[in-house]
Amino acid sequence: MPRVVSNQRAKFENDEIFRKLSRECEVRYTGFRDRPLDERQLRFQTECREGHADLAFVATGTNLQLQFAANAWSDRAEDRVSTREFVNFDREPGKVHLKSQFILNGVCVVWRGWIDLVRLDGIGCLEFDDERAEAEDALLREQIEEYNRRLREFEERQRQYRQEQERQAESEAEVVQALLRIAEPPSHPLTQPPP
């Protein structure tokens, strides 16, 4: 199953949800809502340092489970590392600046934003991820080529099977015709009744 759509940029630019989320708007930490604020603040900072957090776009109610790690696309956990590019507590006092790469509705995107460490809200938006989109498009083309190759092989096997079945049916028909000729009594002029 392909992870991305065939024309990611067009979908990003034309889809209503992407148009809304690509504008900077208010975001909020949504984890541990039942806990006191001081505990939520501590858990948020811990989650960011671990490389993940649950955030929501307030205006649309869109909830995201973000991963803040370089090489987020790698299948190996040891490749996905949280770096200062993705989680930066030092850029502004009292805020953490975050970046996350992922695929949303078949489109490669980057979430960028900041969260106030006291209020647990801030500003964020989605951007189209050109670099990752190209890599995913290449993977999509490879998947399509592999699918088409397998489809051609299947169709060729089906064609060969049908031809073999036809040859076998023809052979059986010839054997039946031969047996019928043998089973027919010979027609001699002497054995025929007079007119």
What tens digit of pLDDT does each residue of 99-123 get?
999 999 999 999 999 999 999 999 9
Inter-residue contact 115 to 96 (CB < 8 Å): yes
Model confidence, pTM: 0.70
> How far apart, in Å, are the Cα atoms of 172 and each of 166, 169, 178, 179?
10, 5, 10, 11
Mean pLDDT score, 38-56: 94
Q: For residue range 59-102, list pLDDT tens digits in order.
A: 999 999 999 887 666 666 666 667 778 999 999 999 999 999 99
- Domain 8-128 class, CATH top level: mainly beta
Task: Please tell me what DSSP assigns to residue 188.
Answer: -
Nearest partner of 4 among 150, 149, 143, 151, judged by Cα: 143
Mean pLDDT score, 15-29: 94
Inter-residue contact 19 to 127 (CB < 8 Å): no
DSSP string, 88-105: ESSSSTTEEEEEEEEEET
- The partner residues of 52 in beta bridges, in order of sequence, read 67
3-class SS of residue 150: helix
- pLDDT for the residue numbered 1: 61
Task: Please tell me what DSSP assigns to residue 172.
Answer: H
Mean pLDDT score, 135-140: 82
Q: How many residues does the chain have?
A: 195
- pLDDT for the residue numbered 138: 84
* Element containing residue 179 per DSSP (H, E): helix 130-183
